Amino acid sequence: MDELLEMADLRDRRKELTKICLVPGVSVSLLSAPSFTARKCFFWMKLLLGVDPLARRSFWDLIYRLAGQGISVLATTHYMDEADYCNIIAMMYQGEIVALAGPDEIKDQLPGVLVQIDVDQPVEAQEFLSKGNNILHSSLQGGVQLHVTVPDENEIPALQSRLDQAGFSVHSLEIIQPSLEDAFTAMVNEERKERL
């Protein structure tokens, strides 16, 4: 137990009630870890919910150290950027696994070319583009960046032209590498289409 407290930088919080520990998952996990060093697998539920960025980085360092000692860590998260740190990801949608692979493999499965568009009125621009041809998928990232997947690079000039002709002010349009969030939203959209 001392080793885990030291690794998690929680030694001086040893006597605090677990319900006020920094991370909900840590309080539960610490209570169930009396012989932690002998374990081969460690479960962390909702690992970094509500944790500040510095503590978040420390916990990922801890997870990597545990993995380096041959301990498997199963972590649950709803943050796609956290999932990107994992070796293997099981993405779930409505209680079913829709992807099981490494982060790069999942991103590589996204068909077409992903274009990020910085445009005035991104919600309206997404609605407008979704009614056209040759759009494989579209989503809003952070509510401000429009991500559009087209079959290939040859479609990009037509995309720009359609937005211009409809009166949208496009500030930038560039090809980007997909994130896990892009891949997940594309998979979910495909699942929804198949269920219709």
Q: What is the set of domains in the chain, with CATH numbers?
A: 2-77 (3.30.750), 111-177 (3.30.70.100)
Confidence category of residue 158, pLDDT binned at 50, 70, 90: very high
Q: For residue 134, which phi and psi values (nearest 5 degrees)?
A: 65, 25
Q: What are the CA-CA distances from residue 181 to residues 22, 167, 170, 177, 187 (Å)?
A: 27, 29, 23, 11, 10
Confidence category of residue 20, pLDDT binned at 50, 70, 90: very low
Q: Say if pTM beats, i.e. exceeds, 0.75.
A: no
Amino acid residing at 88 = I
Report which of residues 113 and 48 the model is more confident about. Answer: 113
Distance (Å, whole) CA 123 – CA 117: 12
Q: Where are the beta strands (DSSP E) in 7-88?
A: 41-44, 72-75
Tokens of 28: 């539960």
What is the residue-wise DSSP string for 55-75?
A: HHHHHHHHHHHHHHTT-EEEE
Angle between helical axes of 156-165 and 122-130 (0-180°, round to 10)? 120
Distance (Å, whole) CA 178 – CA 183: 7
Do residues 128 and 146 make contact, with C-beta atoms less than 8 angstroms apart? no
Task: Taking residues 172-189, report their average pLDDT.
Answer: 90
pLDDT, tens digit, 9 for 90 and up, residues 23-47: 444 444 443 443 444 567 767 666 5
Q: Say which range, 35-39, 80-84, 103-107, 172-176, has the weakest mean pLDDT.
A: 35-39
C-beta neighbour count of 163 within 10 angstroms: 21
Task: Taking residues 88-116, report their average pLDDT.
Answer: 92
Task: Label the pairing between strands 41-44 and 72-75.
Answer: parallel
Task: Taking residues 87-98, report their average pLDDT.
Answer: 90
Tokens of 97: 């696994």
